[in-house]
Structure 1
Amino acid sequence: MSAENELSGSARDAVQAGSISGGVHFHGHATRPDGAGRRVPRQLPADVRDFVNRSAELDQLNAVLPGEDGKPLVVSVCLIAGTAGAGKTSLALRWAHRVRDRFPDGQLYINLRGYDPGEPVTAREALHRFLSALGVPAPGIPDDPEAAAALYRSLLADRRVLIVLDNAATVAQVRPLLPGNSHSLTVVTSRGRLSGLAIRDGAHRLTLGTLPEPEAVALLRAVTAGYRPEDDTGKLAELARLCARLPLALRIAAERAATHPHLTLDDLIADLRDESALWDALSTGDEDEAEAVRTVFAWSYRALPPDAARLFRLLGLQPGPEFGLSATTALAATTARRTRQLLDVLVGAHILEQTAPDRYEFHDLLRAYATDQAQRDETPEDRAVALRRLLDWYLHSAAAAAEWIQPAERPLPLTPPLEGVTPAAFESYDQAVDWSEREHGNFLPLLRSAQAAREDRYAWLLSDVLWSAKAPSATIHDWLVMGDIGVRAARRLGKRLGEARLLDYLGMGHMKLSALTESRHHHEAALTVWRELGDRRGEAESLNLLGLVELRVRRLDAAQEHFERAGLIFRELGERHREANTLANRASTLLQAGLLPQAAEDARAALAIHRESEVRRSVGNALRILSEIHREQGEIEAALGLAEEALEIALDLRNPVMEAYWLITLGDAQREAGRHADALVSSQRSAALHRRLGNRSREAMAWHGAGQTYWAMGREKEAVDFFRRAATTHRELGDGWHEAVSLAALADTDSDSAEAVAHLTRADGLLTTFTDPRAVALKEAIAARLRP
């Protein structure tokens, strides 16, 4: 179990240095006004085949576009509302493909799954996907939804983008995804009226009803063309009426007619009339339409071959938004070849959609129908066995991915896969990450299914393994829910080892969100369990993690004590790499305290071990610490070289978190070397990256560095502005130490004014809780300046 101060990812921003007044001016490639270097997303799914008519509705949508390119849109939000199966998505996609050239900066698309049986896509998750598509590296996407929404609006501020938000259930899903300019257009589909969008956001609502009879007949003819003789228009109209003229039901009926050309329409109509409704779960607000959809589904389902029908209903047990061939093979306990054949049958019957090679999804109505059929036609034992096979496939596949993604983690011993389950295998880090990103949307629904089915063993094992198997692009929020599920399951089973591991993972997750009280609580609980188990390695891990919490709140004595106790245990156990981690963490603590010789000794020892083990991010962190020590000792050239070497490691690893943090160190060394222009570039680049990362604390540290450089250049006005902004942000974050440091620097810019005295007085009060040597020295310096 490793504790990382730095995360993974990549980013490079072009930063404007020079005359800067009043703020940090940075221009990332994603926001350049000329569009050079931008990523242009093209996310629209394929256009709908055999789309017919809806000409009046297409004309209504066309009316929102201006007559000439470059003019503001008539409205910026269009809502397509209507009953389930009315063809809202088909209309939205047909129109989006027609007008996409009017939006040269790209198209964004997401299915919000507002009506799926499982959890809908949250605005936070949707923002994460959109920002990634717009070129923001995964670690650069803020966890805070408001910060992510602000970054999203900033990136789209000068762009013309078409955004399609499919299957929205609530206004809360939609509003954070609105770009906020008059040149981009958002198209929303929903079964609800979403009145709030019309009232507050000026959305133009188009209500989609059933197809007029001529258009319904035309759709039936389009799908069956070339497969059947010319059918009588009157009989096609009767078939359309039996389908309530709903496009979803019409397409299913037409597919069956096309695949049975030997049957007359009279036979098909009679069969459909006689089909009794098998499904009571659907409610569309119109009982006639609901009855028609139920009848068509049952009619199509009963026509499937037995093996295909069984696979269809078993897929109703798959809780995620989409599924792949391998997972389906495990679920059905068949061969991959046979599973693909059966999936092809379901796709051909238009009751399953293929979204990519070996990837599939349901229309939400058909998923609910499949789930209902599984409840009706499969025994409880058969359902339980199928779900266990699916859970087992994900468990072992995730474990294989974790070996690549987090190889330093202590893996759990797992029993062999169940019979008929062949987990995914990976030959590279990239393959493992690709799998994790592709399957991410299934992880939390899967854990919820395990919880609901009282499969506690899989619940805790999966939540544990998925901590190490989560992709770098994944946010921490979903895993925190999984971790809570896993801890409860481990406790019910009395799995104390699992409980302790998950508690530490929860602590690390909360640390990433700066929820330090929650982080400490979980690590302390984990420490108690490790000690009860007599697990010295686990005890050392928790002590080290608690030390990081104490370091974040500047309780330096407590942090040092935790790191020393953890390091002793790791040394006893022969865990050299982990002992080196505690040495580096202790070096950071001693550096913070101003105890430079001791800090240097620990940092050099950690660096030697990390170079030997070739853990590059750990090497870079030790180099950063040593650079700061050399700078404070006046050894500027050495500080520069170490900081530059650390930054190169961050860039090679494509890790923007490390890059942003280590740029502060580089900027400080450049300033001391008299390279003021370079120092400004480093400080401002760091601020730009930290803003994208959503790390306000370190963004303010970068501002403070810029202020120090402007002060060294004799540019007081700019220095004052940066120091003031840094102090204000630290105050808002409750960071008394860094606020006091910025206030003291601010007072230096005007040492004789009453305002300077006020700054020093507040800084003096903030420092009363800190007793380390550096804090004491600063407090004494401030007290001397405040004496009459």
Structure 2
Amino acid sequence: MCDVISPGWWSHFPRHRRRKANQEHTISTSDPQGGTPGESRNDLSGSSRDVVQAGNVSGGIHFHHGLAPGGSGPVPRQLPADVPGFVNRVAELRQLDAVLTDRDGAEVVVTVNVVAGTAGAGKTSLVLHWAHQIKHRFPDGQLFVNLRGYDPGEPVTADQALRGFLRGLGVPTAEIPRDIDTAAALYRSLLAERRVLVLLDNAATVGQVRPLLPGTGNSLVVVTSRSRLSSLAVRDGARRLTLGVLPEPEAVALLRAVTSGYRPEDDTAKLTELARLCAQLPLALRIAAERAASHPHMRLDDLIAELRDESALWDALSTGSDEEAEAVRTVFAWSYRALPEQAARLFRLLGLHPGAEFSLSAAAALADLPPHRVRQLLDDLVGAHLLEQTAPDRYQFHDLLRAYATGQAQTDEPEEHREAALRRVLEWYLLSADAAQGHISPAAEHLALDDASAPAAPVPEFADYHAAVDWAEREQGVFPHLVRAATVAGLDELAWKLAAALWNARPPSMPENDWLGLGHLGLEAAERLGDIRAQVLLRTDLGRAYRTVNRFAEGLDHLEAALRLVRDGGSRLDEARILNLIGLTHLRLRRLDSAADAIGEAAAIFQDAGEPLWAANATANTASTHLSAGRLPEAEAAAERALAAHRALNHRRGEGNALRITAALHLEQGRVAQARQAAEEALEIALNLRDHALEGFWLLTLGDVQRAAGQHADALTSYQRSAMLHRRLADRSREALAWRGTGQTYTALERPDEAADFHRRAAAVHRELDDTWQHAVELDHLADAIAAKDPEQARAHWAEALALLAPYTDPRALEVRRRIEERLAAGDRAG
């Protein structure tokens, strides 16, 4: 079963326009892999996001991906709003301006600046204020990410930040490479000829930053951190600006700016005293000033006395080792204790939220209050500078405030209330994921959930697939924290259910690798509960996930363990589903007898159970097994049955798969026109489903058909698109199959050197993956490509291929062996 993922640019082209677009672009180099990871140079010409070659085939083909440089695609505008009432920091702003002055007129590559300073010093406010002043000098956009390096929860990884940047630069989420090195290379390529301002906020380590640095071009990177990040200066030439506390006059000016118009002008001496109590840190100063502004008739002496009392309490409890931190906590406590009870309770409960950012509905679930009331309380917290609003109905803490809120929850909220609040929000996420699953994975079985335990917050009702994916995209950052929070709290039933539901509700931008950790946590929770049904479900999902990322041995381990559990007392239908997945894994490994046995057993159970859709799927998988073995009559009969069944059920995904098999059968039987019609119908279904996994796989068949029809330019286009998609899906085996098709096409064009380059690269991948069948087939094609120029090396490749083919006895394997032996014999006679 493949994930439904968002569309790429190709799916928006009507078929007649796709061919025209193909004829307007060329690709300049013959490197079949499209560059090495880490290469920052961009070799593409043309203006399409994914450059394709067709029409008049001249020059080589370079498998690259991404938006073309130089300004095509969207211009990201990711800067958060400027800080209202920003004052002072004049000297620091001048230092930042000097960076631009130094760049003017110089041949600049990339400039990196680190703004370092203590917590609460106003690093983010300074950088954002400056960025808004100079953003016009970066016409290709501004990228921003809060890396949350000092947040109490998990920091944002470079991989996660890269994905956000690539989406901002117009790369569809489904086409973002899963491998971080490949994603970073794509990111560098997109920025190579652009002038972009990149803001990396709250970085804790150089590891969070370095993959986000452009390689070449005229971009500017600004990093904020509590650390000096010294290696950025040593290795990347970063300039550092260290931000201290505000000088007294500037601290007083900030207090006046925030309170101006809300209360009579306060005495400078008293404002100075208030500033000193706030350690002259901007974060504390703004909270204190907001408190004063909201009490215009309260004397400043009284506010200062309250803050002194709070400070004395903290002094008694602290070690005095960090005066600035103690001052900040004092201001937090002073402001928190002034909140109305409901607002204070919401503030501390929000400290229990598993992730750094949360929605209005999640907050309502924590508080067990109606959303309209929670919105009012959130507005109060935002107004008091205790919370930040990041988007409509979405909020986050400053990391210091989140830590403080969590601490207050531990001290001010009874344990049973904390547990109830955490359970409510986890249940809200579980019910929401279940609702999203109905659109994202409609064929997946839903968990049995207790709606009676639903919290006060309403569960989202998604209008369509897009709305469900939008929700999953927004919330995917919290998904890992949900399962971990449930595990730590000992809520094992919630932990495994969340892991299972999130597998089916994950967005296209979330790689299967990111779910594997959640799946294992869920499985461990199910094992602690002794819940066999849950273990079967999680092991089945883990088996599917491992197969998707080509970790077949681990996938089979989980599937076979699930099968043993089911056979000890589970349902026959579960047994059949697991057998079907086992068969598909054996099929990918070309263990054809094992695949046929498992799929055949599954098909019989599906038939007996009256499950027509699953039976049709198993019939199509049977056809694929026969096709791989070269048993064409059996494959054709099974494919016809599967196609008819899926059409009767109006199951488009299954219909497309059956059409792809049918196209391959027609091609082997010499019916090229029928093969092309079936392949194009299959591809149209994949495009309409917006499923890049299906599109990439089925393009391999279309490319084969186009090559057989002598439409070499179209074939190269199909193979290049397939290779690009499979690289981004982290399927190296099928990416290598696309290189094979390209090599065969160049052989047909009588360009053997370029053909050999592609076959060598594909053979190396199959050797590395220990795929003896595909390795042998690739060596056969490589030998064909070089036979005229280097007959001795060709003989060596054929001899190695024969040795690799020895274990295979199916008709197709015997035919390949016979052909190679004939070529070797012909060479002997010629010699």
Please state how far the C-alpha of 1:296 moved relative to its aligned partner.
0.3
Which one of the candidate residues 772, 777, 780 is aligned to 2:810?
Answer: 772
Q: How far apart are residue 223 of structure 1 and its match?
A: 0.8
Is 1:113 the counterpart of 2:113 in the alignment?
no
CA distance in 1, matches of 2:471, 2:584: 31
Task: Answer yes or no: is 1:326 the counterpart of 2:361.
Answer: yes
Amino acid at match of 2:804: L
Cα deviation code 1:106-127 (max 9, x no counterpart): 1111111111111111122112
Aligned residue in 2 for 1:80:
115
Select the residue among 793, 799, 804 that pairs with 1:755: 793
Q: Does 1:393 align with 2:428?
A: yes
Cα distance in 2 for partners of 1:438, 1:315 equals 18
1:413 aligned counterpart, secondary structure: coil
Q: Which residue of 1 aligns with 2:696?
A: 660
Q: Is the 8 A contact 1:22 1:722 kept in 2?
A: no
SS of 2:99's partner is coil
Aligned length: 784
Change in CA separation of 1:5 and 1:549 when aligned onto 2, cut-off 3 Å: farther
2:248 aligned residue: 213
Q: Which amino acid aligns with 2:380?
A: V
In 1, distance between residues paired with 2:315 and 2:616? 62
Question: Can you give the 5+ residue segments of structure 1 that lack an aligned partner in the other structure?
Answer: none
* Residues 1:536 and 2:536 aligned together: no
Q: Which of 542, 547, 560 pairs up with 1:524?
A: 560
Q: CA deviation at 1:626?
A: 0.7
- Check if 1:443 corresponds to 2:441: no
> 1:310 aligned to 2:349?
no
Equivalent in the alignment of 1:701: 737
**CA shift digits 1:208-253 (9 cap, x unpaired):** 1111111111111111111111112222111111100101000000
Structure 1's 63 and 276: CA in aligned 2 closer, same or farther, altered over 3 A?
closer
1:714 counterpart residue number:
750
- Corresponding residue to 1:584 among 608, 620, 645: 620
- Residue in structure 2 matching 1:260, options 291, 295, 298: 295
In structure 2, what is the equivalent of residue 494 of structure 1? 530
Does 2:572 align with 1:574? no
- The answer to whether the Cα contact below 8 Å between 1:664 and 1:702 also exists between their aligned partners in 2 is yes
- Alignment partner, residue 10 of structure 1: 8
Q: Which letter maps to 2:349?
A: L
Single out whichever of 727-736 and 464-473 deviates more from structure 2: 727-736
Find the counterpart in structure 1 of residue 87 from structure 2: 52
2:684 corresponds to: 648
Amino acid at match of 1:233: T
Q: How does 1:539-688 map to 2 (within 5 A)?
A: 539-688=575-724
How far residue 737 of structure 1 moved from its aligned partner, in angstroms, is 2.0
Could you say what secondary structure the match of 2:140 adopts?
coil
Query: For residue 780 of structure 2, what is the aligned residue in structure 1?
Result: 744
User: Matched residues in 1 for 2:474 and 2:626: separation?
Assistant: 43
Q: Distance in 1 between matches of 2:466 and 2:572?
A: 34
The aligned counterpart of 1:424 is 460
Q: What's the CA shift for 1:168?
A: 1.1
* Residue 69 of structure 1, CA deviation: 6.4
Structure 1 residues 88, 606: closer, same or farther in 2, change over 3 A? Answer: same
1:86 counterpart letter in structure 2: A
Letter in 1 for 2:805: L
Shift of 1:48: 1.2
Percent identity (aligned): 61
Kept in 2: contact 1:703–1:722 (CA 8 A): yes
Q: Does 1:100 find its partner at 2:135?
A: yes
**How does 1:110-149 map onto structure 2 within 5 Å?**
110-149=145-184
Give CA-to-partner distance per residue, 1:536-556, whole Å, 9 cap, x none: 111111111111211111111
Structure 1 residues 240 and 202: CA distance shift in structure 2, 3 A: same
Opposite residue 25 of structure 1, the aligned amino acid is: H
Q: Is the 8 A contact 2:70 2:194 kept in 1?
A: no
Letter of the aligned partner of 1:10 in structure 2? G
Q: Distance in 1 between matches of 2:721 and 2:425?
A: 46
Contact 2:199 2:222 in 1 (8 A): yes
Following superposition, the deviation at residue 658 of structure 1 comes to 2.1
Q: Structure 1 59/762 Cα, relative in aligned 2: closer, same or farther at 3 Å?
A: farther
Take 1:278 and 1:730, find their aligned partners in 2: how far apart are those partners?
Answer: 68
Structure 2: 5+ residue stretches without partners = 11-49
Flag the 1:475–1:5 CA change in 2: closer, same or farther, 3 A.
Answer: closer
Query: Which amino acid in the other structure matches residue 763 of structure 1?
Result: A
448, 471, 479: which one pairs with 1:413? 448
**Distance in 2 of aligned mates of 1:303 and 1:685:** 60
What amino acid is the match of 1:523?
L
- Counterpart of 1:506? 542
* Deviation of 1:754 (Å): 1.1
Paired residues of 1:447 and 1:482 also in contact (CA < 8 A): yes
Residue 738 (structure 1) shift: 2.1
Q: How far is the alpha carbon of 1:492 from its aligned partner? A: 1.2
The question of 1:356 aligning with 2:391 is answered yes
- Aligned partner of 2:218 in structure 1 is 183
For 2:248, give the aligned amino acid. Answer: E
Contact 1:73 1:185 in 2 (8 A): no
Deviations 1:13-63 (A, max 9, x none): 3412367688533676x4324433x12211111111111121222222222
**Contact 2:67 2:170 survives alignment (8 Å):** no
Distance in 2, matches of 1:71 and 1:596, equals: 67
Aligned-residue offset at 1:682: 2.0
What's 1:89 paired with? Answer: 124
1:403 aligns with 2:438: yes
SS of residue matched to 1:317: coil
Q: Which moved more, 1:530-539 or 1:713-722?
A: 713-722
Counterpart of 2:770? 734
- Equivalent AA in structure 1 for residue 358 of structure 2: F
CA distance in 2, matches of 1:652, 1:278: 65
Mapped partners of 1:750, 1:325: distance in 2: 65
**1:458-516 C-alpha deviation (Å, 9 max, x unpaired):** 11111111111112222223321211111111111121101110111111112222111
Structure 1 residue 194 and structure 2 residue 229: aligned? yes
1:141-162 CA-to-partner distances (Å, cap 9, x unmatched) read 2222222222222222222222
Q: What is the letter of the counterpart of residue 443 of structure 1?
A: F
Distance 1:479 1:380 in 2: 31
CA distance in 1, matches of 2:532, 2:93: 61
Q: Is contact 1:149-1:177 (8 Å) kept?
A: yes
> What code does the residue aligned with 2:726 have?
H
Cα distance change, pair 133–382 in 1 and its aligned pair in 2 (3 A): same
Instruction: Sort the Cα spacing of 1:407 and 1:340 in 2 relative to 1 into closer, same or farther, 3 A.
Output: same
Task: Provide the C-alpha distance between the structure 2 equivalents of 1:72 and 1:47, rounded to a whole number of angstroms.
Answer: 30
Distance 1:278 1:400, change over 3 A: farther
CA contact (8 A) 2:672 2:705 kept: yes
Change (3 A) 1:599 1:11: farther
Give the Å deviation of 1:305: 0.7
Contact 2:563 2:579 in 1 (8 A): yes
